[in-house]
């Protein structure tokens, strides 16, 4: 709510409380989700190193606990952050990892968005033909998901 009101400091404060509460109550999903949301908030606040640290911690939890959907989301967010920072090669490596998670666990609803984000990175690299090819793959998948 506070993020929507453009109060990222307040949002971070409450996310920290949720994180601590998750630890206190041994709620690993709450801990993982709080870390992911803290990372997003800090990335928006341009606190990139801290955001990457939190993404990495959230990723470890998601992988160890087999939180498949969250794992692919974290990877996508990490890759997007790397791309925004100009680290396109690292972003593409992480997108490849995220695509493997999505494909291994048949998370079909996440595939179009992930492919679109990957295509944006190729656009940044001025590899437009590759981006178009990826988008041509993403569009029918998105339509298929909408039909469900």
Residue 139, number of CB atoms within 10 A of its CB? 13
State the residue for tokens 């490849």: 96
| Token pair for 14 | 């409450």
138: left (phi over 0), alpha (psi -120 to 50) or beta: alpha
The pLDDT profile of the chain, 148 residues, written as one tens digit per residue, is: 444 456 788 889 999 999 999 999 999 999 999 999 999 999 999 999 999 999 999 999 999 999 999 999 999 999 999 999 999 999 999 999 999 999 999 998 999 999 999 999 999 999 999 999 999 999 999 998 887 6
Model's pTM, two decimal places?
0.89
């Amino acid at each position: 709510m506070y993020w929507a009101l453009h109060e990222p400091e307040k949002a971070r404060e409450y996310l920290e409380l949720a994180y601590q509460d998750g630890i206190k109550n041994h709620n690993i999903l709450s801990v993982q989700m709080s870390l992911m949301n803290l990372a997003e908030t800090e990335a928006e606040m341009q606190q990139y190193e801290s955001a990457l640290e939190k993404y990495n911690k959230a990723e470890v939890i998601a992988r160890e606990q087999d939180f498949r959907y969250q794992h692919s989301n974290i990877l996508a967010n990490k890759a997007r952050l790397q791309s925004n920072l100009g680290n396109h090669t690292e972003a593409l490596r992480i997108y490849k990892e995220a695509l493997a998670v999505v494909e291994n666990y048949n998370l079909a609803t996440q595939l179009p968005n992930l492919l679109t984000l990957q295509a944006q990175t190729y656009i940044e690299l001025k590899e437009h033909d590759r981006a178009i090819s990826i988008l041509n793959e993403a569009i029918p998948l998105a339509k298929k998901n909408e039909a469900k």
